[in-house]
Amino acid sequence: MAEKLYWDKFQWIATALASVFIANFAVSYTGYKLRYPFLYWTLVASAPAVMIFGVATDSYYHWIYLNPSLFLDRIFPELQYDFTWPVFTLAIHGYVVILVSFFMLLKRFQTPGLYRRQVFAIIIGLLIPVLGTLLAIFDVRITSIRDSTPITAAIGNLVIAWAIFRYQLLDVVHIARDTVMDSMSDLVIVLDERDRIVDMNTVALNAIEKKALDVIGKPAGAVFAEWPELIDAFTEPSDKIIKTSLHAYGRTYHHEVKSTTLRSRRGAYVGRVFVSRDISLHVDLQKNLQHLNEDLERRVDMRTAELKEAYDTTLEGWARALELRDKETLGHCWRVTDLTMKLALAMDVPLDQFDHIRRGAILHDIGKMAIPDEILRKSGPLDSQERLIVIQHPSIAYDLLSRIPFLQKALDIPYCHHEKWDGSGYPRGLRGSEIPLAARIFSVVDVWDAVQSERPYKKSWTRPEAIAYMEEQKGTSFDPEIVEVFLALVREGKV
């Protein structure tokens, strides 16, 4: 009898903790946001705590084992006793907790097939042992043994173990899906290994004017049949990025689409995720600049002088517009333009190049027009992803300006002013004399002004500190000859 009671207490402790573990799994798996987490977990743990206390102190209070007796005429000796109020309290509490957990899991039936099958398998695996406890409480016997809980628990565990391998329960877990995907402004589409749609965020569904039930589980080729060029571009699973313009539902979509392959922990291909970013603003800016170019070229034969003035005024307007967006660099454009002209004169640059150098200096950061405000106006240092966006601005400037013949010779500074003498710069990693002279001149002036300007994330340097830095970077970031000429101007008080 004593030995049977000893092991039966372990079973009660495991039963008491089971509802807590189930509740924790449901919250973790679904990413459910609890409004009052402390209160919720206190209520979840209250009855199990009372039950464990009752088991531990039963020799004093007899809350659990009332009228225990041992039947030796069964296949195995069977311990029986009358169920007391703590037992029924734990049972009712456990069923309530499990029902709440099932409610959380059932909400995931609104999401795609793989997760729906996962949830169904979990619920079945948990319901079987719950049924076993109900049978024991109401003294319903499916065998000669009163307590069928061990048998039903074993069956339920086998169902869950099968689900782990069959439905990739541990490879693809549905955690905080709503938080991650539906809060994104980009279109997100997830395909499985057979190119069926298994998930789409709200933005993507709105873009194609469909509901989740209309697309989830359908082949991507059927859902996106109106855009065969997009399907052809992503026929083979791979990691790549394309830019495309799609026409549908009376609108034109300009997007940059990135495809990323998904693999399980064992390295097996399980699908792809597509993230599509709206670049319509960038495309519209290109079109506007192109229209401006066409309009100005129609006037070139009539009023060449006025055209030159109009261009220069436009360039200054772009520069002022950029400064209005990036107020931290207010005045920077005009200071560096003035210093660049002085240094170009000291370097004996031919006079017929001065107009191009001046225009290039004015437009050196025009590519930043395509950078989102939250990055351009960020008060602290940029993270790695934000930096990747910012360092695209020279290439964006090239894309914007290269179509304007009038500005062909002014492209060197906007495109190459972040190249470095030792080849460690961007966007092309040019080194030494491969970098255009105008860009080499401008980069010295640009850094000189930047290090002496105060920003929210850094203090301005003193003039001696700036001079020391220019000396230090000579031959690394800058052309040594240009640095020498520039510092001579500094020492002479001309800068």
Domain for residue 440, yes or no?
yes
How long, in residues, is the chain? 495
Reported confidence tier of residue 459, pLDDT bands at 50, 70, 90: confident
pLDDT, average across residues 325-329: 59
Residue 152 to residue 158: CA distance in whole angstroms: 10
Listed residues 100, 134, 166: the one ending a domain: 166
Whether residue 174 is predicted with pLDDT greater than 60 in this model: the reply is no
Listed residues 99, 134, 166: the one ending a domain: 166
SS3 content of the chain, % helix, strand, coil (to 5): 60, 10, 30
Neighbours of 35 (CB within 10 A): 6
More confident residue, 323 or 219: 219
Strands 240-248 and 197-200, by their bridges, are unpaired
Residue where the block lists tokens 């090239």: 398
Which of 55-64, 308-317, 332-341 is predicted with the least confidence, judged by mean pLDDT? Answer: 308-317
Residues 330 and 347 in one domain: yes
Structure tokens that stand for 400 in this block = 């914007």
Neighbours of 119 (CB within 10 A): 25
pLDDT, average across residues 178-196: 83
Identify the top-confidence range among 3-7, 32-36, 268-272, 433-437: 433-437
Domain for residue 432, yes or no?
yes
Q: How many domains does the chain have?
A: 3
Q: What pLDDT, on the 0 to 100 scale, is given for residue 172?
A: 46
30-36-38 Cα angle (round to 5):
95
Neighbours of 141 (CB within 10 A): 11
Query: Of 375, 369, 414, 423, which Cα lies nearest the Cα of 394?
Result: 414
Whether residue 9 is predicted with pLDDT greater than 80 in this model: the reply is no
Sheet containing 251-263: give its strands across. Answer: 197-200, 187-192, 269-278, 251-263, 240-248
Reported confidence tier of residue 439, pLDDT bands at 50, 70, 90: very high
Contact 83, 12 (CB under 8 A): no
Domain for residue 171, yes or no?
no
Amino acid identity for residue 314 in this structure: T
Q: What pLDDT, on the 0 to 100 scale, is given for residue 128?
A: 78
List the CATH number of the domain containing 350: 1.10.3210.10
pLDDT, average across residues 396-408: 88
Contact 276, 186 (CB under 8 A): yes
Domain for residue 85, yes or no?
yes
Residue 394 to residue 267: CA distance in whole angstroms: 38
Residues 383 and 455 in one domain: yes
Contact 270, 114 (CB under 8 A): no
Residues 420 and 392 in one domain: yes
The distance from CA 473 to its chain's CA centroid, rounded to whole angstroms, is 36
Domain for residue 146, yes or no?
yes
Whether residue 168 is predicted with pLDDT greater than 80 in this model: the reply is no
Reported confidence tier of residue 365, pLDDT bands at 50, 70, 90: confident
Answer whether the bond into residue 427 is a cis peptide, omega within 30°. yes
pTM: 0.40
Residue 166 to residue 161: CA distance in whole angstroms: 9
Whether residue 6 is predicted with pLDDT greater than 90 in this model: the reply is no
More confident residue, 300 or 421: 421
Query: Of 286, 276, 283, which Cα lies nearest the Cα of 256?
Result: 276
Contact 393, 418 (CB under 8 A): no
Residues 217 and 292 in one domain: no
Residue 229: which domain range? 177-278
Residues 391 and 286 in one domain: yes
Q: What SS3 class is residue 176?
A: coil
Average pLDDT of the residues of the chain: 81
Domain for residue 172, yes or no?
no
Identify the top-confidence range among 14-23, 114-123, 247-256, 314-323: 14-23
Residues 121 and 240 in one domain: no
Residues 97 and 206 in one domain: no
Q: How far is CA 493 from CA 213, 487, 489, in A?
A: 73, 10, 6
Residues 154 and 84 in one domain: yes
List the CATH number of the domain containing 219: 3.30.450.20
Q: What pLDDT, on the 0 to 100 scale, is given for residue 482?
A: 96
Share of the chain above pLDDT 90, in %: 26
Reported confidence tier of residue 416, pLDDT bands at 50, 70, 90: very high
Listed residues 145, 166, 187: the one ending a domain: 166
Residue 7 to residue 107: CA distance in whole angstroms: 38
Reported confidence tier of residue 110, pLDDT bands at 50, 70, 90: low
Q: What pLDDT, on the 0 to 100 scale, is given for residue 75?
A: 55
Reported confidence tier of residue 70, pLDDT bands at 50, 70, 90: low
Residues 234 and 297 in one domain: no
pLDDT, average across residues 93-121: 73
Residues 341 and 365 in one domain: yes
Reported confidence tier of residue 103, pLDDT bands at 50, 70, 90: confident
The alpha-helical segments, DSSP class H, found in 148-279 are 149-166, 177-181, 202-208, 212-215, 220-223, 228-233
Q: What SS3 class is residue 429?
A: coil
Reported confidence tier of residue 116, pLDDT bands at 50, 70, 90: low
pLDDT, average across residues 360-382: 84
Residues 109 and 256 in one domain: no
Residues 330 and 268 in one domain: no
